[in-house]
Structure 1
Amino acid sequence: MLPVIIAGAGPIGLALALALAGHRVPTIVLDGADGPPPPRLARTCVLFPDLAHWARLPGLGRETATLSGWHTRQRGRTVAHRAFAAGEAPFHLPQHALEGALRAAVAGQELIRVLAGTRVTAVEQSDTEVVVRSTELTEQTLRGSYLVGCDGARSTVRKLLGIGFPGRTAVERHAVAALRTELPWPGEGGVHRGGPGGEVTVRPLPGHRWRLDWPLPEEDGLITPDAMLERVHTTLGGWHDGDLPRYELLDAGVQVCHQRLALRWRSGRVFLAGDAARLLGALGTQQIAEGLRDVENLSWKLAAACHHAPAAHLLDSYEIERRTAVADRLRAVDQALPLVRGRRGLLTRLVRGRGKGRLRLLTDGHTGDGALGAPGRYPDSPLTFVSHRAASATPPGSTVLDVPVTALDGTRTRLRHCLGGPLLLVLTAPGSRVWDAKHWLSAGLMPRLAVAARALPVPTELLVTEDYPGAAAHTLLVIRPDGHLAATLPGADREELLAFIARWRAETEAGPDARAGTTAV
């Protein structure tokens, strides 16, 4: 098997290599940097529950804060507060810590080869392979099955493909400070407006460390060290009744948020992911989280193509799903900015309850909610199958809820722990936790579903759950490796099951015959 070549060894490129290794796909990672990035506590990222496994990489425990809640304060008064329940809390961690943990994990993988100091200089492709010329100490030629450009905002891969990258520059600018101190909200994040420090967002890190962000007016130029210290002192003093608490300034800088979207995310055997495909960050939207969602979406599709068939339709769905989801996110930011920043216009006049709406929009990107923060939905994807005879609380194309499940060998775990591998067929089977697995494996719907699992053109695992919100007994949930619901089917309806299998064969197998036959169930 030819390896997948990954240009770029930042968090997204490394995560993609790890995800592909989990699917038994070899990779070559071209690391054009001179070494790991320097530690910068002013550069952090927020990961949401659908990405929790990335926040739990070995070595990240001491660097990651699991937010206990989020508060919103207006003129010193708390106007909203949310305590995060188990499984719904965001994770906040330094970006360099995430990259360091990824590098350590990659180093232990036999299927991953990292070429240090190596940059792409030319790309050629045919129907069967992609050829990459790169520069290290000497020029070399690499052959792979596919190439993924994870090489950042100035992506060489994107430029070599001639793909446009339109958008807007400096949509927002933020002064950022990381400091060690005691604040009145241990473990909580929050947004504050109308206080002595103006608008500021605060997020915790372990070890009494915090990140503070202040949006900068458009007319502000460079932020001097004295101006930064004045912001810190005014804000901290306002939170402590005018007294400046003891603190240690650990890092500071200015974050500039751009909005750009590559016109294409796929060109033959070459794909774009992460910042090479899009830029965002305004109103708390999270670039690293979106890049990891690219990884989750693309990795299993590349694995299916490498192991089973060229899968042209399946690979097309990456751009259809991810580019559309990110375009929706960028559009939501464009619509929200005039309201949040008080710029008068049609949207500002039409939206009722502007004050409440502004505060909610300032929160959603940080907490993973709404159009600014929730995982993208793929309702119009060719991989989303809508049944009119079965439903659940999760619309097809959305991310599934985390429920207890039982595997065929009797192992009990959580649904999210089973993601990232094969396609999951999850049957709602009341009583399954009471009876031993051997009693229901050969009874009822299970034999038929086992045949269906073998008929699908990708690796499949059959699970049962006692209950799934909104789903009737004997409902079958088909869940993709990236956690998105592909279909909700009536488990006893043979025709619906056959129709789904035929649809997936058409989208995951190449050739004109793929849309025809299927296996009897």
Structure 2
Amino acid sequence: MDPVIVVGAGPVGLTLSLALAAQGVPCVLLDEGPGTEEVRLARTVVLREDTADLVERLGAAGLEKDGLRWSGWRSMRRKQLVRDVPLGAGADGSYDAGDSGDVRDFGDAGAAGDQGGPSLPAPLHIPQHALASALRAAVAAAPLVELAPLSRIDTLEQDRDGVTVHTKGSGTTWWRGSYLVGCDGARSTVRKLLDIRFPGRTAVERHAVAALRAELPWPGEAVLHRQPPWRGAGAEVGARPLPDGVWRLDWLLPPRGELVTPDALITRLRDTLAGWCGETPPYELLDTGVHTLHHRLARRWRVQRAFLAGDAAHLLGALGTQGLDEGIRDAENLAWKLAHAWHHRGGDLLLDSYQAERRAAVAARLRAADQSLPILRGGGGLRTLVPGAVRGHDTLLADGHLGRGALGAPPSYSHSPLAPPHAEAHTTVGTPPGAPVADVRVTAPDGTAVRLRERLGQGHPLVILVAPGTGVWDRRHWLTAGIMPRLVEAVEALPSAAELLVTESYPGASAHTVLLVRPDGHLVAAFAGVRPAELFAAARAALGGTPGAGGGDEDGESDENGGGERGAARAPGPRERVHADRTARIN
């Protein structure tokens, strides 16, 4: 088949190309620019733990060197006091930032706090150019990715077998691909060529931004100061650390207001440093800018063989929500589905699920931000409008920045069209179906112990057996002991190749629980013991059915809305025949 065409070589397009290549799919990456990154320290991104792991797994080395994981999150309200008050945990498990005006500490971002609060995985703060450069280096080393710089797309045509595009530039002008993904940003040419509407709100928030080198009182901690007392500070100012003593400072501006002049920004900066430090300390100003945040959501994310991802599909960012973080999740979700369709042909239900899952997740994030904005920016009514009497303004803001709750938690695809019907064999574990699985230690097929997240993104489902005690056994013994032979047979009979792993324990799971996990790390279902028929049915559903039987037609044709005829009958394939034979024997 022809390669997948990825339009746009920003972090999302680079990540998608690497994720496809990791699953054996060749890509053409059309880059409108010259293939280099402009160094802008005031333009930074925050990656949650799972997305940071993803890009590092794809070969983006050195992110910890270029970025910084926050050691904590500090929130200040109204006035600055000289003492810190530990943050308590409410009866419902939420954090109370309070309204007393005290300095409140949101605890260690990498471990549970002293007050018994939940563990907070540390987000990674990194300049965007450093992330993009690391991804570009990985692309340069990926033989399945062809990077075409100075290639601006201007036409796009689709047919039942693929996509043809024309580009303006110094190189090849016509490109042929099996599928195309527009990762070309907020002003996406692909979105316009597909005639997809992009409604939403303009200038939801504006921030003045400065990157500087200075010594601040909170090394390694992110700071949010609401309603600071000094003149001209605005309603909110935040500081996020970067390596080498560099900080990014953000001042919340009125949504629509006058331009921020260089002199006005310098005044804000000096007043803020003096307010935090008692007097303005020595500093080196490295970069400045004004960042305007919009909230928009594309009506459709798929038109036949063409898809949208990242800023081409959505814009968000108010209240700490992270647009690039969501764009990388788009790439992870779409990559394994395109890879399956590319290798096996067909799979319209599987490809349709990309829009169903990701658009719903981003829409929920946008709704949460839009509902919180009047409360957080308007002041009153918080305790009557927000469930949980102990939740405060600062807690809601911290949710977005730290990756918790509706503003920041990893998405769950519980209502996905790929979710299997409930069966009696299903059991409950600590992870709900559709949510990301816990990153437990597992034993890989070669006998080595690795993190579960390290086995993701290889294009096949994972089957995990919870078997206490296996960690101290030689793998040659436990592979042939107990229920393992039956489970091996059941996994070999699945409708697609899968990897069998073993773990000593999993949150909320009893011994002999079997977990079925999608290639992107979301739980399909958990089973009480080895249940070959139910495991097969769940795996089939998670893959969108098989070509010609509930998952799209053989040639991959779909209608203009991205769907295709489904449900055509066909003879069972060899894996299904093996499954039927073995199920009869085992049961």
Partner of 2:375: 339
From 134, 155, 159, the equivalent of 2:167 is 134
From 123, 135, 145, the equivalent of 2:178 is 145
Q: Please show how residues 53-72 of structure 1 align to structure 2 within 5 Å.
A: 53-54=53-54, 56=56, 57-72=60-75
Measured against aligned partners, the alpha-carbon deviations of 1:187-218 in whole angstroms (never above 9, x if no partner) come to 11121123234521211100001111111123
Measured against aligned partners, the alpha-carbon deviations of 1:247-290 in whole angstroms (never above 9, x if no partner) come to 11111111100000000000110000000000011111111111
Partner of 2:150: 117
Partner of 1:313: 349
1:513 alignment partner, SS class = coil
Given that residues 55 and 135 in structure 2 are in contact (C-alpha distance below 8 angstroms), is that contact kept between their aligned partners in structure 1?
no
**Residue identity opposite 1:335 in structure 2:** Q
Matched, 1:217 2:254: yes
2:187 alignment partner, SS class = coil
From 410, 417, 420, the equivalent of 1:382 is 417
1:489 alignment partner, SS class = strand
**Residue identity opposite 2:219 in structure 1:** P
Partner of 1:80: 105
Is the deviation greater in 134-143 or in 405-414?
134-143
CA distance in 1, matches of 2:171, 2:71: 51
1:135 alignment partner, SS class = strand
Matched, 1:268 2:304: yes
CA distance in 2, matches of 1:459, 1:138: 39
Partner of 1:164: 197
CA 1:222 to 1:503, structure 2 compared with 1: closer, same or farther past 3 Å?
same
CA distance in 2, matches of 1:96, 1:47: 14
Given that residues 516 and 539 in structure 2 are in contact (C-alpha distance below 8 angstroms), is that contact kept between their aligned partners in structure 1?
no
Given that residues 133 and 142 in structure 1 are in contact (C-alpha distance below 8 angstroms), is that contact kept between their aligned partners in structure 2?
yes
CA distance in 2, matches of 1:368, 1:350: 22
CA distance in 2, matches of 1:304, 1:71: 44
CA distance in 2, matches of 1:80, 1:132: 53
Given that residues 233 and 244 in structure 1 are in contact (C-alpha distance below 8 angstroms), is that contact kept between their aligned partners in structure 2?
yes
From 462, 472, 480, the equivalent of 2:500 is 462
CA 1:341 to 1:159, structure 2 compared with 1: closer, same or farther past 3 Å?
same
The answer for unaligned runs of 5 or more in structure 2 is 81-101, 112-119, 550-567
From 373, 381, 384, the equivalent of 2:408 is 373
Q: Please show how residues 273-312 of structure 1 align to structure 2 within 5 Å.
A: 273-312=309-348
1:329 alignment partner, SS class = helix
2:75 alignment partner, SS class = strand
**Residue identity opposite 1:368 in structure 2:** G
From 502, 513, 534, the equivalent of 1:496 is 534
Deviation at 1:229, TM superposition (A): 1.1
Q: Calculate the TM-score normalised by the size of structure 1.
A: 0.95
Given that residues 502 and 515 in structure 1 are in contact (C-alpha distance below 8 angstroms), is that contact kept between their aligned partners in structure 2?
no
CA distance in 2, matches of 1:473, 1:514: 38
Given that residues 164 and 263 in structure 1 are in contact (C-alpha distance below 8 angstroms), is that contact kept between their aligned partners in structure 2?
yes
Is the deviation greater in 83-92 or in 398-407?
83-92
Measured against aligned partners, the alpha-carbon deviations of 1:33-53 in whole angstroms (never above 9, x if no partner) come to 244231111110001111122
Matched, 1:238 2:241: no
CA distance in 1, matches of 2:447, 2:64: 30
**Residue identity opposite 2:5 in structure 1:** I
**Residue identity opposite 2:191 in structure 1:** R
Given that residues 387 and 487 in structure 1 are in contact (C-alpha distance below 8 angstroms), is that contact kept between their aligned partners in structure 2?
no
Given that residues 475 and 489 in structure 1 are in contact (C-alpha distance below 8 angstroms), is that contact kept between their aligned partners in structure 2?
yes
The answer for unaligned runs of 5 or more in structure 1 is none
CA distance in 2, matches of 1:445, 1:503: 24
Given that residues 329 and 371 in structure 1 are in contact (C-alpha distance below 8 angstroms), is that contact kept between their aligned partners in structure 2?
yes
Partner of 1:7: 7
Partner of 1:363: 398
From 204, 210, 222, the equivalent of 1:177 is 210
CA distance in 2, matches of 1:55, 1:187: 23
1:341 alignment partner, SS class = helix
**Residue identity opposite 2:412 in structure 1:** R
Measured against aligned partners, the alpha-carbon deviations of 1:211-238 in whole angstroms (never above 9, x if no partner) come to 1111112353101111111111111111
CA distance in 2, matches of 1:479, 1:349: 40
Identical-residue share of aligned pairs (%): 54
* CA RMSD after TM alignment: 2.1
Matched, 1:408 2:441: no
Partner of 1:395: 432
Deviation at 1:85, TM superposition (A): 2.6
Matched, 1:471 2:509: yes
Measured against aligned partners, the alpha-carbon deviations of 1:155-186 in whole angstroms (never above 9, x if no partner) come to 11111111100001001101111111111111
Deviation at 1:455, TM superposition (A): 2.9
Given that residues 145 and 269 in structure 1 are in contact (C-alpha distance below 8 angstroms), is that contact kept between their aligned partners in structure 2?
yes
**Residue identity opposite 1:231 in structure 2:** R
Given that residues 183 and 312 in structure 2 are in contact (C-alpha distance below 8 angstroms), is that contact kept between their aligned partners in structure 1?
yes
Is the deviation greater in 183-192 or in 134-143?
134-143
CA distance in 2, matches of 1:509, 1:470: 35
